[in-house]
Structure 1
């Protein structure tokens, strides 16, 4: 078997696993079902991933490696002293990354809500790095006077909730809110609305902030 064929086989397994884990759940999916969906021999799953658990671990790692690369690529804006532009660019790139990897995003973001050995490892590696980077951006913005003083953990909670919601609960988005988050236009429009929220929360002189002050 050629290297290209091996690579194609591996990708077919990954695609099949993402589909089945999303539709039937990790525990409800068997290795044989993945092999059948991918049209490969069961032995290939053991060869590449050492079983179903290894397959899930690979998918989670694949998602977060790409996710952290997106964050790291945006940190260069901080060297120019612009925490605001860094945060704006970062949010847009995260939304685009999750949109381009919708099914994988849905799977991983759902798995992160569970308490497993794998997810505890993710918490202490990838998500700890994510917190460090987001905290650095917010702290820098506060230090140079671009952001008002806020309790950073709460901002991170709210920001992650906004950014993850469309990909964590796609059925709610489409069936209850009637928003088609898989459409290309969604990211552009949603990004603008998220930035209105960011500006109202972090920027001292945003019109919403001024109105609140006036009411007092």
Structure 2
């Protein structure tokens, strides 16, 4: 039975993600991807307009899924305390990244290279991510839940907590005896992140609005 259009595109993207991780973007050819996906090389041109279009599709798929995790929690700010929104947003992002760990590792590596392609595609997504974090942090400071720390530094720290396990998975394995793709990684890691939020971001004044619905 012939694969549907959606299935063919998914096969190509899955193959590309594996090869981009193992051979790098520059070291991977269209024929390599087609061979691994078991499709005609012409399909890659037809569906993605070539390798760069395939890269753009991978980046778009990742960041749209990534940002939706955070955006959902921002929408709950009127019903739940900002610290809970932040914790649940980070947990949702980590779960998404764990489920897509190969794509996640490739994307964060690509961002760290700071190539022209990544700058053009990723810039708008990173601006939106910064804005979503800003909304949560601003509301937390306003309610007296978060300490009034430099926002840019807090966002950098949050970003590091989200990306480090996937950029340095071997180091994580050495010091913590786990890989980010493992089943219980998110639950274990979130315990540490929640402690960090409570001890670093939350102010000494235990201001809570218990009449608001918790997530």
TM-score (norm 2): 0.90
SS at match of 2:114: coil
1:91-170 superposed matches below 5 A: 91-170=90-169
1:21-100 superposed matches below 5 A: 21-80=20-79, 82-100=81-99
Structural RMSD (CA) = 1.9
The 10-residue stretch of structure 1 (123-132 or 15-24) with the greater mean CA deviation from structure 2 = 123-132
The 10-residue stretch of structure 1 (85-94 or 177-186) with the greater mean CA deviation from structure 2 = 177-186
Question: Whole-Å Cα distance in 2 between the matches of residues 81 and 194 of structure 1?
Answer: 19
* Number of aligned residue pairs: 206
The corresponding residue for 2:213 is none
Q: How many angstroms does 1:122 deviate by?
A: 3.4
The corresponding residue for 2:196 is 197
Question: Whole-Å Cα distance in 2 between the matches of residues 175 and 194 of structure 1?
Answer: 19
Question: Whole-Å Cα distance in 2 between the matches of residues 144 and 175 of structure 1?
Answer: 40
Work out whether residues 77 and 85 of structure 1, in 8 Å CA contact, stay in contact via their aligned partners in 2.
Answer: no
Question: Whole-Å Cα distance in 2 between the matches of residues 153 and 197 of structure 1?
Answer: 17
Q: How many angstroms does 1:177 deviate by?
A: 4.8
TM-score (norm 1): 0.89
Question: Whole-Å Cα distance in 2 between the matches of residues 68 and 81 of structure 1?
Answer: 19
Quick one: structure 1 residues 123 and 52, their matched pair in 2 at CA, closer, same or farther if it must change by over 3 Å? Answer: closer
SS at match of 2:4: helix
Quick one: structure 1 residues 81 and 35, their matched pair in 2 at CA, closer, same or farther if it must change by over 3 Å? Answer: closer
Work out whether residues 99 and 181 of structure 2, in 8 Å CA contact, stay in contact via their aligned partners in 1.
Answer: no
Q: How many angstroms does 1:136 deviate by?
A: 1.1
Gaps spanning 5+ residues in structure 1: where? 207-216
The 10-residue stretch of structure 1 (180-189 or 19-28) with the greater mean CA deviation from structure 2 = 180-189
Q: How many angstroms does 1:88 deviate by?
A: 1.1
Q: How many angstroms does 1:123 deviate by?
A: 4.1
The corresponding residue for 1:209 is none
The 10-residue stretch of structure 1 (5-14 or 145-154) with the greater mean CA deviation from structure 2 = 5-14
Q: How many angstroms does 1:8 deviate by?
A: 1.6
Q: How many angstroms does 1:78 deviate by?
A: 1.1
Q: How many angstroms does 1:179 deviate by?
A: 2.1
Q: How many angstroms does 1:173 deviate by?
A: 2.2
Question: Whole-Å Cα distance in 2 between the matches of residues 73 and 176 of structure 1?
Answer: 32
Work out whether residues 83 and 137 of structure 1, in 8 Å CA contact, stay in contact via their aligned partners in 2.
Answer: yes
The 10-residue stretch of structure 1 (152-161 or 162-171) with the greater mean CA deviation from structure 2 = 162-171
Gaps spanning 5+ residues in structure 2: where? 206-215
